[in-house]
Structure 1
């Protein structure tokens, strides 16, 4: 990401297109009007061809960068259930999802700019280096050098970096951090941040001080290129509105990841 001296710069991303058929979890168009980068579900944990095409068309119209959000083949569980997929099959799954989104993105005048791993697959990659390497292998087979957007300082980031992948660093404004820098697991008290004003203050803190406050009140260093709003978080659109307004009020420049 390009930066201007003395002007904080950050991207604002959201998981987009996480519906299926007649079901949807968010107003994707409204979110696309607020973010700079869209992590588009590629059909495994969510999304279908109609949703992918509509999302890419909207992103192209609004000038939003498109990234591929890959996950387990788990529509019923929204990709949040661990599946012990053999690494070779996982690499093929990643390639399949990238190929599907790239074809639709190209039809809309776009191209995949980065990859992000969703849900349980991401957590599995943190725990299992063989799964992290499978993500890198899928990218290699895809044949285009696109970076991986992920949480810095994790074993997943280290594994895909060691495999030769470029990295983009991601922070979270609607999830709580543990004192060790990892996220508080979903389901635990305080794991989710749903108050738009609290999320907005956190976004400003990350963008201007490069720190984040952990759930125990400690301050952690956090150098990131982008901050994420999960579209399935309660009130995601209001959170995005508050975050964008607060960042702009503080003079933070919002730019796409590869701008």
Structure 2
């Protein structure tokens, strides 16, 4: 049996949530029947690691490996009523904290809470949100923008997006409301749903060929790498519904190519 992994946990919980999700609008009710939620929550909560700044500023060698005590250290601090200043999260045992795993863990826990109706109905999880937030904003956020994988590393788009996703899942002020199951903003979800409604409306009206031709035409525009510009300025789009359809196709491409 392979070891547990926080990223795979998110994918599994998200997939189960999507299987029970209605075509549009909010959903309620558990989607993880048969899952050992208590064990999963314990595994996710144990992914927290206290981060300690290096004593010297120019240390040598292996980056931040030595700046994360073993996971048991956080448990001892919690028992003593202490709270570390910075808390990162890892994906597996004996690994250092990584920006993206703050998202994989926070997103999974939020999925579980929402599936059980939100409010007090979800699992009672003790994640150190403020220290985790400070770890992202003060340790992995880079001076030139974006987020790095670990403290001191260069920023990249992958960790920048998931760093922001983690902050959105933790309800960071100034960020759009987030759909943790799809890993996009609620506004993006609304655009996708609007585009889908437009497609269904055309098909239900017997306009199958026109809708099909439209998808092909917009797909060709996407292949020409001009789609993002079209969404921004509306050039080449015949109707507002075309814009919604194009956004739907773009979102689908993003979801299919995301790694």
TM > 0.5: no
Task: Give the number of the structure whose alpha-carbon radius of gyration is greater.
Answer: 2
Q: TM-score, normalised by structure 2?
A: 0.30
